[in-house]
């Protein structure tokens, strides 16, 4: 397993309920080791198995839930 970390910008969250929904939904996907969503920073920090997920599939998963998801710099 090759774990990678990514930060995805998330627009449209307004409360902790939104945060928890994303954490639970994305957290259940295959290959997700850890997800931490921040309401203040408007982003999601995801640690994932790069054999099972890619930045694009993670971005799409959040987009599909009805939020605007943008890929931040992968190497900040």
- Which phi and psi (to 5°) does residue 57 adopt? -70, -35
Q: Looking at 22, 35, 37, 46, which residue binds other proteins (CB under 8 A)?
A: 22
| Cα 38 from Cα 43, distance rounded (Å) | 6
Q: Is 15 in the site for other proteins (CB under 8 A)?
A: yes
| Cα 56 from Cα 70, distance rounded (Å) | 10
Q: Is 25 in the site for other proteins (CB under 8 A)?
A: yes
Please work out the total of residues on this chain that contact other proteins, with binding judged by CB under 8 A.
14
Q: Provide the binding-site residues for other proteins, judged by CB under 8 A.
A: 12-15, 17-18, 21-22, 24-25, 64-67
């Amino acid at each position: 397993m090759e774990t990678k970390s990514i930060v995805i910008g998330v627009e449209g969250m307004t409360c902790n309920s939104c945060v928890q929904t994303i954490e639970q939904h994305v957290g259940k996907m295959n290959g997700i080791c850890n997800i931490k969503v921040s309401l203040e920073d408007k982003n999601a920090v995801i640690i994932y198995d790069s054999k099972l997920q890619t930045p694009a599939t993670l971005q799409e998963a959040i987009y599909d839930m009805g939020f605007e998801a943008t890929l931040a710099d992968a190497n900040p």
